Chains A and B, each alone.
Chain A
């Protein structure tokens, strides 16, 4: 009797530790409890702790065994809760439909046998919603889960189900409605209404997923502080594997750990390479993948950017039919000059995602490239129109930039005069939305549109794109930019930028430029012609890899202490 009291105390202490987020202590308590007496509760507690200690496979195994013990002890409600949890993990973390569906049927029959299933009926609806795609039928299942959650006063369920409904509604195209759900759920999550911290973590992941879906950091921004604090207080276990944190910007402060995809968009390709490499290894070894991205798809995209096409092909071999890899596979097709195959692949994926139109925006955008490469202008125009329609639905800055880029490329191909303004607007839009890589692509297209009418400006824009692409390590596209500059008869790459590259005369000229002198004044001062002064200035710009006199002065300010005495340009 005394012994079982102690067992109970250990179980309570374990549960308390879980609530506090002290996973190691929880593990110790449940371990002691299990050693004292092999109960379903102890086993289940061990499974829950292990999940947070970032061994989800071990957690699934333990809780699977706990399920059998609960059944054996005749505790069907507890068993059903575990079965629902297992179904959700298999669907959400492992994308394993067979296992997920198997646990879902176990859960369904148990829940239906209960006299009073209470919140479990809602959790079951949520798990059923998550077993399906991000579409309206799934939104309706999540909606019924919300009703149950409110009826039962289950705050955890309400938060997760609202988030699920939000993600489904947004990807089906009802953006405002979805975002309103999302705000509601986030208020509940951040105000501490929830009980189990796992579900707050899940809500945050869905938040980032929706933000990524819409390409709108504004979705995440209001909760940024909370995200960062939460990330600092808890490791997120398998939701966000590899727990390195470096708070450089809003999103990566939260999920640096898994979001190689974030780095792809923000152009930090070296960081993306490291994270995605880890994620792919983990996917291959354990089947586990981060919730918000497909590491293989993103690594293929990265390899294509780097011009490492062979490696991209090898990576893709086992994932060719995965819809989430369609866009990256199309990138590879385009790089290998197979536009027809890219177009078919993209059209197939778009067809499969009919019920979640927002997810198809980037596929339509790539279809514009494929159609243009294949010389099919009407198809390119139609695809650009689809991008525009979807961008109108979401209204986010990133999607508007994609709309302008698509329309601009079509205008460029047909020689229309509005190409330049569309492409400039795209380049600026991408840059403002924090997406420098697509900004570079748009800028290079902008340079192409300017080539016929304003060669000088075309060179400036193409050089800007080239420098940025080189810096990001997007080798293949940088080579394309350099080739275009050579077509224009301009030098592409410049060497390392140090003042040491300048001749003594050029140093002298740079000092005078920094004092705000014009070429004529420099000529007078140095007893050379205005034209020669001008030659020195252009040579300085080329050697330093800067784009204008003002930038050269800024460079001088940082690197030539003697010349930096003036603030003028």
Chain B
């Protein structure tokens, strides 16, 4: 069932490629956790920093589940590694990784966000981790 809260969360992913426009759906006093950083400025920096090494970052929402004002999202990102990420120079490789976000939405704005992404997969897909299995 589509709700107002879910619509806000969907909108978040629509504009995630333009961090400067996030004020539209995120409260100025946002509380952030884990990968999102601790406030709105850190969240924007976090997204902007992903868009440099992965300029074609594309989200695909897989599940959107709501309980009260909490919306939980499991999504898949695809992108191409085109600039330095964590000291690993551009490899040109395609990456596909899972992300899990939990957002609290109040009065049409995201007020709290927790983000975890599958970094191990990213690092191994850009060739930065030694893999046990032969390639």
Contacts and interface: CB of A to CB of B under 8 A. Distances in A.
A569 B21 CA distance: 24
A247 to B, nearest CB: 12
Contact of B35 (A456, A557, A569): A569
B20 A428 contact: no
B20 A468 contact: no
A547 B115 CA distance: 16
A164 B135 CA distance: 43
Given A519-B38, A558-B88, A558-B129, A550 B49 contact: yes
Contacts of B4: none
A interface secondary structure, majority: helix
Contacts of B80: 432
Contacts of B85: 551, 554
A553 interface: yes
Nearest to B114: A518
A551 B49 contact: yes
A3 interface: no
A548 B49 contact: yes
Contacts of A424: 17-18, 20
Contacts of A453: 20
B56 A456 contact: no
B80 to A, nearest CB: 8
A537 B36 CA distance: 13
A181 interface: no
B37 interface: yes
A558 B128 contact: yes
B34 A549 contact: yes
A420 B17 CA distance: 12
B108 interface: no
Interface in A512-547: 516-519, 530, 534, 544-547
A471 interface: yes
Nearest to B45: A460
B120 to A, nearest CB: 4
Given A518-B32, A548-B49, A468 B83 contact: yes
Contact of B49 (A434, A460, A518): A460
Interface string A406-428: 00000000000000110010011
B122 to A, nearest CB: 7
A457 interface: yes
Q: What range describes how many residues of A lie at the interface?
A: 35 or more
Contact of B123 (A457, A519, A558): A558
Interface string B46-68: 10111110011000000000000
Nearest to B117: A569
A545 B85 CA distance: 10
Contacts of A431: 52, 55-56, 82-83
A230 interface: no
A355 interface: no
A555 B87 contact: yes
Nearest to A459: B45
B49 A554 contact: no
List of 9 A-B pairs having minimum Cβ-Cβ separation, nearest first:
A547-B49, A554-B86, A569-B35, A431-B55, A456-B41, A518-B33, A548-B46, A567-B120, A548-B49
20 contacts: A428-B55, A431-B56, A432-B55, A439-B55, A457-B45, A460-B48, A468-B52, A516-B35, A530-B38, A547-B52, A548-B45, A550-B50, A550-B119, A553-B119, A554-B88, A554-B122, A554-B128, A567-B119, A568-B34, A569-B116
Interface of A: 249, 420-421, 424, 427-428, 431-432, 434, 436, 439, 443, 450, 453-454, 456-457, 459-461, 464, 467-468, 471, 497, 516-519, 530, 534, 544-555, 557-558, 567-569
